[in-house]
Structure 1
Amino acid sequence: MNLLLFTADDLLAPGRLAVSDRRLQHLHTVHRARPGDTVRVGETGGLMGQGVLVELDRQRAVIEFSLDTPPPAKLPVTLLLALPRPKMLRRILRSAAEFGVESLVLINSYRVEKSYWQTPVLQPGTVRDYLLQGLEQARDTVLPAVHLEPRFKPFVEDRLPALLAGRRALLAHPRDDAPLPPTDNRDALVVAIGPEGGFIPYEVEKLLDSGFEAVALGPRILRVENAVSSVLGRLLPAP
């Protein structure tokens, strides 16, 4: 946890907050913090700054803080992702937040197991918790938007056109296509990545007909989570 995130519910008074959940445990077990230590804090959806631990025991931590730093700019990318298996989804949610994507759209595909849509990981509170973990790692405060689209054809035909308006659309698919092209870090992109085994030909053609460009990530076939990291890593702005 490189940033302790809080909300209005954690405030004791202006400039003073208390935590007693996993954040407290992290302060004890990872940071090995003590009263008087300085910690980085950020308000979810708002500014970041510094805090001082004025109280710390096994029940709670009390922090006095001030905020003066805006969060980093988001990566102008919407990730269109065939719903992965739950264990992988947890990691991808964290990664999406770490990379700073603006939004994540989880879609259905022929190769997506129906049971995946019933996983407790998709509960809003659980999704939010994994996204927050990614923000804490990356020192960011702004949550990506997450949308669920459990029906492929209605989504592609009815809602995808509006999503693609004014954006370049790239379909990362294991075929003999052109490599991922250079992009300006300010370009608004939609990047589609399929399930394990890839999109079926019908789905590929529907996406191409909608305006996607097919691109390749290289000669190796990557697991979904590695494909996500590979694509987003190439799109990050240079330091």
Structure 2
Amino acid sequence: MNLLLLADSDLLSPTVADLSDKRRLDHILQVLKPQLGDRLTVGRLNGDWGTGEVTELSRERIRLSLTLNRPPPEPLPLTLVLALPRPQQIKRILQTVAGSGVKELHLIHSRRVEKSYWQSPSIHPDAVETQLQLGLEQGCDTVMPQVHYHRQFKPFVEDTLPGLIEGRRAMVAHPYDAIACPAQVQEPVTLLVGPEGGFNEYEIGRLGELGVQAVHLGPRILKTEVAIPYLLGRLF
């Protein structure tokens, strides 16, 4: 945790916060180990960040005097469209997405996505928000990404995707019949990432009809959780 993220419910006033939940309290007491008067890096959810001076400290509660005077880092100019990953991967991917500065994420269905993945507790809104918050705390960001769910591929491509790629560079990560992924782009991007093994031929064809360019990262096929940070680092 590189930044202590504060919700509105933590605030007694715009300049005073009380923390008593176990996760954050344990981290502060066991890892950061502050003394009275020490300053912690803190941020208000969807707001500014700065420091919190420890004014009260016990095993049950920590009170902070806040100075929040820095804007959050600039977001990546990216809309990420991701075929729903395996439940055991989604937690790490959500943390990576939030910590990297992605602010718009669309989770979609595709032929190689098991339908059972949509029933996983890992994509319940509360579980997703928790992982995104962990990513923000790691990346020293305060702005929560917006997550959208699309359980059918065809309606997403026909009705939603055209609006997401209008006026933007559109790419799909695909390990076959693709050009090398560009580096250090200077324009907004909509990036689609399929399941492991990629989108199938029909799905790639539908994306191509909309002008989405297939790109690759080399001869190896990477796990989704590896490919995403690799793609973000290469693009931006």
Q: Give the structure 2 partner of residue 63 of structure 1.
A: 64
Specify the SS of the correspondent of 2:106.
strand
Equivalent positions of 1:7-46 (< 5 A) are 7-21=7-21, 22-46=23-47
| Equivalent residue pairs, number | 235
Counterparts of 2:51 and 2:140 in 1: how far apart (Å)?
A: 12
Q: Give the structure 2 partner of residue 169 of structure 1.
A: 170
Counterparts of 2:197 and 2:214 in 1: how far apart (Å)?
A: 16
On the 8 A contact 2:182/2:235 being kept in 1, the answer is: no
Deviations 1:183-224 (A, max 9, x none): 434x11011111022111111111111221011111111011
Letter in 1 for 2:74: A
Cα deviation for residue 86 of structure 1 reads 1.2
Cα deviation for residue 143 of structure 1 reads 1.1
Cα deviation for residue 235 of structure 1 reads 2.5
Counterparts of 1:38 and 1:5 in 2: how far apart (Å)?
A: 14
Q: Identity of aligned pairs, percent?
A: 49
Specify the SS of the correspondent of 1:101.
coil
Cα deviation for residue 102 of structure 1 reads 2.2
Specify the SS of the correspondent of 1:215.
strand
On the 8 A contact 2:182/2:234 being kept in 1, the answer is: no
Q: Give the structure 2 partner of residue 147 of structure 1.
A: 148
Counterparts of 1:30 and 1:220 in 2: how far apart (Å)?
A: 39
Counterparts of 1:31 and 1:86 in 2: how far apart (Å)?
A: 31
Deviations 1:135-156 (A, max 9, x none): 1111111111110001000110
Counterparts of 1:141 and 1:14 in 2: how far apart (Å)?
A: 16
Answering whether residue 92 of structure 2 is matched by residue 107 of structure 1, we say: no
Counterparts of 1:20 and 1:97 in 2: how far apart (Å)?
A: 24
Deviations 1:43-91 (A, max 9, x none): 1111011111111211111111111100000001111110001120000
Q: Give the structure 1 partner of residue 86 of structure 2.
A: 85
Letter in 2 for 1:213: Q
Letter in 1 for 2:167: G
Letter in 1 for 2:190: V
Specify the SS of the correspondent of 1:36.
coil
Letter in 1 for 2:148: H
Answering whether residue 38 of structure 2 is matched by residue 72 of structure 1, we say: no
Q: Give the structure 2 partner of residue 199 of structure 1.
A: 199
Counterparts of 1:197 and 1:72 in 2: how far apart (Å)?
A: 34
Q: Give the structure 1 partner of residue 212 of structure 2.
A: 212
Q: Give the structure 2 partner of residue 3 of structure 1.
A: 3
Cα deviation for residue 35 of structure 1 reads 2.3
Query: What is the RMSD of the two structures over their aligned residues, measured on CA atoms?
Result: 1.1
Letter in 1 for 2:225: E
Q: Which stretch of structure 1 is more off in the superposition, 80-89 or 175-184?
A: 175-184
Q: Give the structure 2 partner of residue 95 of structure 1.
A: 96
Specify the SS of the correspondent of 2:182.
coil
Counterparts of 1:183 and 1:162 in 2: how far apart (Å)?
A: 24
Specify the SS of the correspondent of 1:30.
helix
Cα deviation for residue 95 of structure 1 reads 0.3
Counterparts of 1:84 and 1:234 in 2: how far apart (Å)?
A: 21
On the 8 A contact 2:49/2:142 being kept in 1, the answer is: yes
